[in-house]
């Protein structure tokens, strides 16, 4: 596809009726932990026409970030999620989305809309499923039979009608429980239900206070995010290496050993993660995560 997107699908914008009770139940059970922003904009999450007035269509797009197997980190290194190896995906993909939206305006004339990449209250996985791009799996990630799950989700919401794609209605996980069995903190409490307050990604990125001592020894050296439930998923044997140079790790990151992480200064953090999504946790957050792992 143009601008490097893996694939795209289009769904009619409207109220996500089936998602409403699931989201309400998830929030009521406190599975969002300290992520108070999840409680806000409930109506906007369920209806993009409230987020983008006049919206008629939601275009969902996938962008691959699966790294080359040739990338070799030092053996005794702390781990970060693959999506954070290179430059911050928000900035990289948003630029591509804007270029794509401009092309749509040139082709269809006067249209209004907005582009999003993990930047607004949108149920991205639900829209991608409605657009025919995959199904929401037992680990609550969107999975494609052809492409696995190592991709970013992005949207263009606009006031133009299209011929819409058919949603994926079949769950291709079958009897497999690999992700549930492998989750280090047992955060996947039921098929497609993740207790976010138990997830390593939540602890290492979202949580701003001390990590509970009860999780000591469970993090498997993950210091920013966690890929375990994706790494063990059989469908990811179909993942192909991305071709976006901006998502490749810099040389200094590849050379870090555990000692380097433990002794990392604020200056080193700023240099190594200058344009990375890891900067979201800030130096103090990464230092907290590392200290929790090394105790």
Sign of CA dihedral 78, 211, 151, 183: positive
CA–centroid distance for 215 within its chain? 23
Query: Is-catalytic flag, 195?
Result: no
Asked if residue 220 lies in contact with residue 184, where contact means CB atoms within 8 angstroms, the answer is yes
Per-residue b/e over 10-26, b at no fewer than 16 CB within 10 Å? bbebeebeebbeebeeb
Asked if residue 49 lies in contact with residue 117, where contact means CB atoms within 8 angstroms, the answer is no
In this structure, are strands 57-64 and 188-190 parallel, antiparallel, or unpaired? unpaired
Tokens of 138: 């037992």
Tokens of 233: 């998923």
d(CA 286, CA 295): 14
Asked if residue 67 lies in contact with residue 171, where contact means CB atoms within 8 angstroms, the answer is no
Neighbours of 113 (CB within 10 A): 20
- List 19, 88, 118, 221, catalytic entry: 118
d(CA 282, CA 177): 34
Tokens of 253: 């990151």
d(CA 67, CA 85): 8
Query: Which amino acids are annotated catalytic?
Result: 118
């Amino acid at each position: 596809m143009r601008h490097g997107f893996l694939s795209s699908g289009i769904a009619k914008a409207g109220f996500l009726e089936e998602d409403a009770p699931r989201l309400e139940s998830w929030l009521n059970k406190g599975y969002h932990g300290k992520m108070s922003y999840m409680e806000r904009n409930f109506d906007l999450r369920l209806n993009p026409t409230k987020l983008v007035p006049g919206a008629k269509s939601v275009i969902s797009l996938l962008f691959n970030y699966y790294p080359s197997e040739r990338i070799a980190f030092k053996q005794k290194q702390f781990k970060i999620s693959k999506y954070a190896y290179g430059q911050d995906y928000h900035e990289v993909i948003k630029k591509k989305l804007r270029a794509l939206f401009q092309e749509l305006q040139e082709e269809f004339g006067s249209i209004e809309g907005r582009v999003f990449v993990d930047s607004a209250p949108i149920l991205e996985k639900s829209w991608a499923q409605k657009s025919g791009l995959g199904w929401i799996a037992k680990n609550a990630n969107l999975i494609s039979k052809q492409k696995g799950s190592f991709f970013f989700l992005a949207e263009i919401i606009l006031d133009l009608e299209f011929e819409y794609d058919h949603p994926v209605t079949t769950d291709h996980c079958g009897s497999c429980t690999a992700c549930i069995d492998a989750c280090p903190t047992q955060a996947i409490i039921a098929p497609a239900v993740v207790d976010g307050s138990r997830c390593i990604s939540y602890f290492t990125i979202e949580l701003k206070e001390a990590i509970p001592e009860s999780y000591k020894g469970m993090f498997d050296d993950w210091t920013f995010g966690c890929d375990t439930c994706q790494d063990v998923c059989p469908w990811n044997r179909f993942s192909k290496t991305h071709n976006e140079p901006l998502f490749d790790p810099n040389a200094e990151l590849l050379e870090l050993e555990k000692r380097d992480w433990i002794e990392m200064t604020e200056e080193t953090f700023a240099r190594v993660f200058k344009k990375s999504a890891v900067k979201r946790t800030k130096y103090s957050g990464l230092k907290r995560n590392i200290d929790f792992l090394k105790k």
